[in-house]
Amino acid sequence: MSIFCLGVNHKTAPVEVRERLAFPERSVPGSLDEIRSIEGIDEAVVLSTCNRVEIYGAGTELDQLADQVSDYLLAHFGIEPGQVEFYRHTAEDAAHHLFEVASGLDSMVLGETEIFGQVKKAYATAQEKGATARRLNKLFQQSFRIGKLVRSSTRIQQGATSVGAVAVDLAETIFGHLGDCRVMIVGAGEMSRTTAQSLLSRGARSIIVSNRSHDRAEDLAAELGGSALRFDEWEDALHEVDIVISSTSAPHAVIRSETIERAMPRRKGLSLLLIDIAVPRDIEDEVDRIPNVYLYNIDNLQEIADEGRNRREKQIAVCREVIRVALEDRGIEALSEPEGQRKKKDERARAGAPNQSTAAEGRPLTNP
Amino acid sequence: MGLLYLAVSTAFFLGGFLFALAMLRSGQRRPAANFAVMGAGFLFQCLFLSERGDLHGRCPITNGPEVLIFIGWSLVIMYFVVGKAFRLSLLGLFTAPIVFSFQLLALAWLALSDPGARPPDSMDPWLEMHAATSLLAYGAFGLAAVAGLMYFAQDRQLKSRKPGRLSRHLPPIRYLIDALVRLLVVGQILITIGIASAFFMEQRPSALHFGASGAVWLIYLILLLVQRFRPLVPRTLSGSAVVAFVIAVVTLFAL
């Protein structure tokens, strides 16, 4: 196998190291030229995201090439040797690694979909630059096919895995598209902020922030593009919002069931989602008995997120099996052979001679 | 051939329900396949109704089984119209068993005692209009009841604070309620046309028939007016839609 992969990711390097190795988008074409100028490297693709920086290359003497790429990266980014430990994969391990990356199996959020687009973009940039040829073209196109297959035939993408994502899922389960949804934050804590950001990123219409410290409310409202409300006024606005995120530091319940009962008739049949992220809880549990009101506390959200993560993790073996079967069906042997030896094989086949494998040609990718 | 068409149609609706259930359990979504199975069931419904229409020489709603099948047929029409318009996935899971039940009952009924051809003494287009639009209205009301049942399922999932696979596949609460209200409106318009047509019939229905139809019309009108001016909580609205449909079907058969 004449392909290698060298890089760092969120598992092997902290963000302080990864950010030093990140390629600015506009510099990638130039870097591809520099990498390909290393003797022995015929093809290259640079994959640089917030959670990984990887160089895929094709050539001969893979271990030596990986060393040279490692030296190039250290020199290019001005990093001292020993400050970063790169992982490296060669031959079919490199192919498997790329397939798992494209399928979201190697992502910080298991099964996330953004990486697929990022891999496609990295490949497109390299292809436009003429930095890819037969081996990497085949490898990456195979990775896209396998990535799509894994996502469509398994449940690797199903289930929210973070508190914010769970909140968004719940909101969409109640309201559908969030474009008409108004959100109120009571208590400007960090968790409230991230949850509200998740909702905004999915199209929530507006945010109102109410906090004991009005200055803090105004700061957070400005950050989120919303408006601030004095803490003694949030009850009056309750009937106008669809989602309430509560995260105060009060030692007692701030939102009582009678407050919600007063607001609900004014909502004219519309549902209300209450997300209580505070410990101790801000919202009385009796609120959940009110029809058309849905109350979730931090434990509920975390449980759902954990379940989502567990479900996805159970899918890892299924995804790997899908990858294995897909490779068996297609026959990945074409990627296993260095170009020169493949040509020799073709010539022998034309001449009617039997194929002969040597150690230099690499192992078949799958067991016979 | 008619009973064969009906049997095949009934089998398709059972298959549609089982298929939707299997997809739900496996976490897959195959809305096109679901639509196709419901479509096949609908096709054989049409073949059955067409043959019965030829047999009677008029709209085939001359006896109890045919009325059941006609209501099932209009339920499926509403499913095709509403399902696509509102992107209500899983509607087939809830609609198919109702249609299957209606048709199974009708099939058994006809197999045991088929009253045979009942050609009209004379053709009265207002009678055809009254019967057809009234039963189409029942289809709309039936699908509104189905949306209500789906609301209950989704509400229960959310209130449990551990929404499962069913919740992920059910439509959002707001969409369900919107669809339910629109179906009630469509049904009310159709039943109004149906009742109005009765006044022009050559042979007017009995006072009992008028009374029962009027009662159903009034029930739904009150429901819609209350919803318009004092919106009900979804639980009450959904429950009312289900109860109203049960009353409507019972009065239909009591007549």
Question: Each residue of B203-248: pLDDT tens digit?
Answer: 877 888 888 899 999 999 999 999 999 999 999 999 999 999 999 9
Residues of A in contact with B235 (CB under 8 A): 291-292
What pLDDT sits at residue B89?
63
Give CA separation, A203 vs A82, A168, A188, A206, A365, in Å: 45, 10, 20, 9, 45
Catalytic residue numbers of A read: 50
Which of A235-244, A322-331, B18-27, B167-176 shows the highest mean pLDDT? A235-244
What pLDDT sits at residue A332?
53
**One domain for residues B108 and B146:** no
CA closest to A180 among chain B residues: B174
Mean pLDDT of the residues in chain A? 86
* CA of B38 vs chain A CAs: smallest distance (Å): 24
Residues of A in contact with B171 (CB under 8 A): 176
Write the CATH number of the domain with boundaries A163-298: 3.40.50.720
CB proximity list for B94: less than 8 A, separation 6 or greater: B146, B149, B150
Question: Each residue of A211-229: pLDDT tens digit?
Answer: 999 999 999 999 999 999 9
Q: Which residue of B154, B175, B235 is in closest CB contact with A292?
A: B235
Helical (H) or strand (E) element with A120: helix A114-128
Q: Please tell me the total count of domains within chain B.
A: 2
Three-state DSSP string of chain B: CHHHHHHHHHHHHHHHHHHHHHHHHHCCCCHHHHHHHHHHHHHHHHHHHHHHHHHHCCCCCCCHHHHHHHHHHHHHHHHHHHHHHHCCCCHHHHHHHHHHHHHHHHHHHHHHCCCCCCCCCCCCHHHHHHHHHHHHHHHHHHHHHHHHHHHHHHHHHHHCCCCCHHHHHCCCHHHHHHHHHHHHHHHHHHHHHHHHHHCCCCCCCCHHHHHHHHHHHHHHHHHHHHHHHCCCCHHHHHHHHHHHHHHHHHHHHHC
What pLDDT sits at residue A360?
33
Q: How confident is the model at residue B159 (pLDDT cuts 50, 70, 90)?
A: very high
What pLDDT sits at residue B164?
83
Which residues on adjacent β-strands are paired with residue A350? none
Last residue in a domain, options B113, B133, B151: B113
**One domain for residues B167 and B248:** yes
* CA of B246 vs chain A CAs: smallest distance (Å): 24
**One domain for residues B14 and B108:** yes
Question: Each residue of A128-162: pLDDT tens digit?
Answer: 999 999 999 999 999 999 999 998 888 888 888 88
Q: How confident is the model at residue A350 (pLDDT cuts 50, 70, 90)?
A: very low
Domain segments of chain A: what residues?
3-153, 163-298
Mean pLDDT, residues B16-37: 78
> Does residue B1 lie within any of the structural domains?
yes
Interface of chain B toward chain A, CB-CB under 8 angstroms: 27, 154, 158-159, 161-163, 167-168, 170-175, 177, 227, 231-237
> Does residue B208 lie within any of the structural domains?
yes
The residue of A173, A294, A307 whose CB has the most chain B CBs within 10 angstroms, and thus the best one to mutate to test that interface, is A173
Mean pLDDT, residues A268-296: 93
Q: How confident is the model at residue A346 (pLDDT cuts 50, 70, 90)?
A: very low
> Strand A206-211 vs strand A87-90: parallel, antiparallel, or unpaired?
unpaired
Question: What are φ and ψ of residue A54, in 5° steps?
Answer: -135, 140
> Does residue B118 lie within any of the structural domains?
no
* Residue A11 pLDDT exceeds 70: yes
Q: Which residue of A269, A294, A303 is in closest CB contact with B231?
A: A269
Mean pLDDT, residues A256-269: 93
Q: How many CB atoms lie within 10 A of CB A39?
A: 10
What pLDDT sits at residue B85?
60
ipTM over 0.95: no
What pLDDT sits at residue B117?
76
CA closest to B171 among chain A residues: A173
**One domain for residues B128 and B251:** yes
Residues of A in contact with B232 (CB under 8 A): 269
What pLDDT sits at residue A364?
31
What pLDDT sits at residue A252?
87
Range of the structural domain that residue B99 is part of: 1-113
Last residue in a domain, options B66, B89, B113: B113
* Residue A322 pLDDT exceeds 80: yes
Q: Which residue of B159, B170, B172 is in closest CB contact with A294?
A: B159
* Residue A325 pLDDT exceeds 90: no
Cβ distance A116 to A122 under 8 Å?
no
Does domain A3-153 fall under CATH 3.30.460.30? My reply is yes
Last residue in a domain, options B113, B138, B165: B113
**One domain for residues B66 and B171:** no
Query: Do the Cβ atoms of B171 and A176 come within 8 Å?
Result: yes
Q: Which residue of B27, B162, B167 is in closest CB contact with A173?
A: B167
Query: Do the Cβ atoms of A174 and B174 come within 8 Å?
Result: yes
Which of A339, A330, A10, A312 is CA-nearest to residue A155? A312
Please give the share of chain B, as a percent, with pLDDT higher than 90.
Answer: 44
* Residue A363 pLDDT exceeds 80: no
Q: Does the CA dihedral A167-A169-A172-A177 come out positive or negative?
A: positive
Name the more confident of B202 and A86.
Answer: A86
